[in-house]
Amino acid sequence: MKNVLTIAGSDSSGGAGIQADLKTMCALGVYGMTVITALTAQNTRGVYRIQEIEPGMVAAQIEAVFTDIRVDAVKIGMVSGGEIIRAISGCLLRFKAQNIVIDPVMVAKSGDPLLRPEAEQAVRDFAVLADILTPNIPEAEILSGVPIHTEEDMLLAAEKIAALGGSRGPRHILIKGGHRLGTSAEDLFYSGGRVVRLPAGRIETRHTHGTGCTLSSAIACRLALGDSPEAAVRAAKDYITQAIKDCYALGGGNGPVGHLAGLYRRAAMEIV
């Protein structure tokens, strides 16, 4: 079995963050491990409080895993402060981590900010460690400084993000198109100057809490299982598309996607 480590925040409602990552890893047949960067008090309606984990403790969690267990891929989600980002970077470089997927989480689905403004530059510096970086459009705008309205804007933003680290990376960039207006939610995969457009129809539902976390985790799982970056992205998109179709109308706000619906169906359990 392959082992995948998620470094992210905890979501008390279970739809995003560490909880979404572990559900995705179970669904895709890998062993999931966790490093918690922050505790959040949140539900389907919003994020009410965030408590960061002390950077030394974040580093200690990473060290505990890497010094004992083979890590086949790493997914990184919510990192809200520059000191935590630097602690994670140091550890990943020290342990020569491979198959790193970074989801530069900056804003929750509810619109609540999850990244302190002063940490934005640290995220740009951090992004160069990524084998695959998965920003949505607002995040890509922040990272690139390019307002995105068209497909051409997405490409320009990808080029600027790819240039953040000079020749170091990020190696591959997936700009998610779900925030674009209209019926299409096409994503753009940028790899060394090569552009792959990944069409996707828009699924009409408000229950999409945790989509970004889930997609990036699925990509990390597929990389761990031996897929190429493009194949990993395609397989992860198939998984998240079905999970959105299987969304769960939980709570009074944006409910979660159906991470484990496929397993439930195979176990002949009723999906409500």
Q: Which of 77, 82, 169, 210 is catalytic?
A: 210
Is 208 tagged catalytic?
yes
Is 75 tagged catalytic?
no
Is 210 tagged catalytic?
yes
Is residue 78 packed enough to be buried (19+ CB in 10 Å), middle (13-18) or exposed (0-12)?
buried
Is 212 tagged catalytic?
yes
Residues 6+ apart with CB under 8 A from 196: 188, 189, 190, 230
Q: Rg (Cα) of the chain, in Å, rounded?
A: 17
Residue with tokens 């008390």: 12
Q: Which of 211, 214, 221, 237 is catalytic?
A: 211
- Can you tell me the distance from the alpha carbon of 52 to that of 54, in angstroms, rounded to the nearest whole number? 6
Q: Which of 23, 75, 109, 176 is catalytic?
A: 176
Is 247 tagged catalytic?
no
Q: Point out which residues pair with 132 in neighbouring strands.
A: 101, 172
Q: Which of 169, 212, 255, 258 is catalytic?
A: 212
Is 221 tagged catalytic?
no
Q: Which of 6, 40, 208, 214 is catalytic?
A: 208
The pairing of strands 73-76 and 100-102 is: parallel
Q: Which of 9, 17, 213, 247 is catalytic?
A: 213
- Which alpha helices (DSSP H) does 1-79 contain, by range? 17-27, 55-66
Q: Annotated active-site positions, please? A: 176, 208, 210-213
